[in-house]
């Protein structure tokens, strides 16, 4: 994924999700961050609570982006912070 494609994807999803709810952080997976369950181009969004997560999911689930259907899933916060991306477990600013 090129830097331009990464930045465009991040901006597009930041704008989409911001139009319906607030969230803590949004991360687009790059080659350096790819691991089981997190392919290049995957997007991980950390929401403030279950309600804001449901609003974000409702906005994008099943839509088509760049020819691909958007799929969503919930990851337990403990798993996300301890196993998936422990390097990003610091609090992010309110977006």
Question: What's the CA gap between 25 and 27, in Å, rounded?
Answer: 7
CB atoms within 10 A of CB 35: 11
CA distances 58 to 17, 63, 67, Å, are: 10, 10, 19
Domain boundaries, the chain: 3-88
**pLDDT string in tens for the chain (95-residue length):** 899 999 999 999 999 999 999 999 899 998 888 876 688 999 989 899 989 999 999 999 999 988 989 988 888 878 877 777 666 654 444 55
Q: What local confidence, expressed as pLDDT, does residue 90 receive? A: 44
Q: What local confidence, expressed as pLDDT, does residue 92 receive? A: 46
Q: Which residues contact 12 (CB under 8 A, 6 or more apart)?
A: 65
First to last CA, the chain: 24
pTM, 2 dp: 0.78
CA-based diameter of the chain, in Å?
34
CATH code that applies to domain 3-88: 3.30.70.330
Radius of gyration of the chain (CA): 13
Q: What local confidence, expressed as pLDDT, does residue 9 receive? A: 92
């Amino acid at each position: 994924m090129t830097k331009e494609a990464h930045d465009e994807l991040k901006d597009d999803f930041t704008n989409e999700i911001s139009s319906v709810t607030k969230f803590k952080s949004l991360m687009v997976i790059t080659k350096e961050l790819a691991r089981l369950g997190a392919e290049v181009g995957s997007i991980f969004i950390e929401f403030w609570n279950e309600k804001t997560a449901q609003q974000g999911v409702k906005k994008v689930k099943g839509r088509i982006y760049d020819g691909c259907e958007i799929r969503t899933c919930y990851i337990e916060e403990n798993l996300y912070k301890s196993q998936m991306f422990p390097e990003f477990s610091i609090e992010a600013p309110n977006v």
